[in-house]
Structure 1
Amino acid sequence: MSVNKLDALEVSGTPEEIGFAIGLADADSIREAVLPLTEFRNAQKFWKGSSYLKSLDAAARSVFPEYVLELEGMAGGAQVEYETLLIWNCRGDLPLPDDAIPESAEHSPEGCTTLLYPAEKGAAAVIAHNEDGPPELDAHCRWLTVSQENGTNFSTFHYPGMLPGHTFSVNSHGLVQTINNIRIDDLKSGIPRHFICRAVLDCSGLEEALVILNR
């Protein structure tokens, strides 16, 4: 049995600099693995240039402009349009059309799962997590470590072209975040979930994170 080695990437700086460095490292993977994905092509076909996508972007810009800058930097580093990465990051917030490609409809409910076994009688809590990302991206993921000017640093499992935070992560305040993916049917325009996940990585503790999640 062989184990695939996970490449590591360390970046630092302003949001734009961090995004650019990630995008530069992800560029080949985005072109070779992300853009050909049926899930991405379906989302792009239906939502590119749409007013709904613009409303998601506007909501992100109004509350989390620093993470928009990060994604814009990522697009610059990867040499793709910002809207391309916005669609990729918002695909879980985009309603699936009735005439969607069958393959996309079949896989739309899928997502990662997290289980927590609470601490008990002196034993440490155990968090178990699996990644259900597209198998086409298996050789394109990284362990990403980010050092920010705001003082909060973090490490996370990273998919190409994605804002950090939607997988499993830990920050320099000891806050651990994993995602238990549950898709809903009554999607409404608002702050895209991956921007919210990214914001949690900058929190100093649970109380601050809950404020963001409950807003």
Structure 2
Amino acid sequence: MTQVTHLEPVSGLAWSVFRGERAEVMRALGREHADAIHAFRSLPGGSWEAQVRRADGVAAERLDAVIASTRELLPVESQELAWIAEGAGIAERDMWARNLRGDLGRDGTGCSDIAFTTDAGVVMGHNEDGDGELREQIRLVTLVIEGDPAMTSAWYPGMLPSNAFVTTSVGLAFGMDHVPVVTAQTAGAGRHFVARHAQRQPTGEAARGALSRVPCAGGFAFDVADAAGRADLIENAAGHVAATTGRYQHTNHLRLLDGTSDGLAVCDGDEWLGESMHRLSVLRGCGTPTSAQDVLTALRTPGVLGRSDDLWTFVTTVVDTAIDEVVLQGSGAPWRGRWSAFARGERVQL
């Protein structure tokens, strides 16, 4: 039996906690949010509708190939998506089209990250950016699934809970930045599924290994904060992987991989590439952060903070592992809580 609990919102973000066996938790996630999922899927002229048309048209062959590859490489995570679709009463192929939006070719922009290590731990911050049409829909969900670490995620209805900021009960936090891929690696897995697989791991070492070992069909830059005191940036795009550790900033273009490699090339005149590079320059202009408050301030700076129909910052999240603190700012004032409790679905405010 799945237990569903609705907590008091955090900085304007609704928060639901799901506890139980994997299949029933995922079905309950879809069922509990079926109205929001259907409303977004049926939005006239919306991005999900456009993605289904693309998946049924010019990208149909690639879609089928990436679905098959994802099911082979990551069967558990693929089945989770099917259970969410079942619970919501929506076509599974439509859910795949939505979740593979960045694995079928060039697709928009969004998200900014900052991370650095201290003598005591890691500070990592993430802006979750996306289409302005979704600014009232993003919420928090906690999954407490038997056999997995508990995890809390900023969640888009209709997505596998994995592609936005995630923190887990084994002391890990993840941020994902979209990076453009012109030609998908159809032998890879959907990037949301790679993210979900890594987030289910019991240690930072295992999570970093998963992100380096399983190729993404499309592209993500994965930011991983480990309570043991390590911060990693891993770019995984169209079968190419590169990583760095320590202090970094990232937006939505490749920083570590050679962007001229097969499948990765994006024209210098690309509108969203230019926007990402400008956002990074603004972020750098905020100076070198030395605290969680510095990170929050930088990520909320005009020019980094998204406020347009094309790019909207739904929530800014900052984790400071040394003092076990998480800060979230959505549509309301910043909320500060106990990071370890937050990951388990416990609303402990500081």
TM-score, normalization: structure 1? 0.85
Alignment length (residue pairs) = 200
2:25 aligned to 9, 18, 21, which one?
18
State the percentage of identical aligned residues: 28
Secondary structure at 1:91 match in 2: coil
Residue 100 of structure 1 is matched in structure 2 by none
Contact kept, 8 Å, 2:40 with 2:48, in 1: the verdict is no
Q: Give, in angstroms, the shift of residue 188 of structure 1.
A: 1.9
User: Which has the bigger relative contact order, CA under 8 A and spacing at least 6?
Assistant: 1
| Alignment RMSD | 1.9
**Structure 2: unaligned runs, 5 residues or longer:** 1-9, 214-350
**How far 1:4 sits from its partner (Å)?**
5.7
Structure (1/2) with the larger helix percentage: 1
The structure carrying a bigger strand percent of its residues is 2
Measured after TM superposition, the shift of residue 66 of structure 1 is 1.4
Of 39, 50, 58 in structure 1, the residue corresponding to residue 47 of structure 2 is 39
Q: 1:78-157 maps to which residues of 2 (within 5 A)?
A: 78-96=88-106, 108-120=107-119, 122=120, 124-157=121-154
Write the distance in 2 (CA, Å) between the matches of 1:151 and 1:110. 31
- For 2:181, which of 165, 184, 188 is the aligned residue? 184
* Separation of aligned partners in 1, 2:30 and 2:179: 28
> For 2:20 and 2:75, how far apart are their aligned partners in 1?
16
Counterpart-to-counterpart distance in 2, 1:141 and 1:58: 29
| 1:173 pairs with 2:170 | yes
C-alpha deviations, 1:125-183, integer Å up to 9, x for none? 32121111222222222211111111421111111011112111111111111112221
What is the CA-CA distance between 1:63 and the residue it aligns to?
2.0
Counterpart position of 1:211:
209
TM-score by length of 2: 0.54
Instruction: Indicate the residue corresponding to 2:160 in structure 1.
Output: 163
**Counterpart Cα distance in 2 of 1:56 and 1:142:** 28
* Residues 66-110 of structure 1: CA deviation (Å, up to 9, x unaligned): 1122111111111110011111100000125xxxxxxxxxxx331
Q: Are the counterparts in 2 of residues 35 and 41 from structure 1 also a CA contact under 8 Å?
A: yes
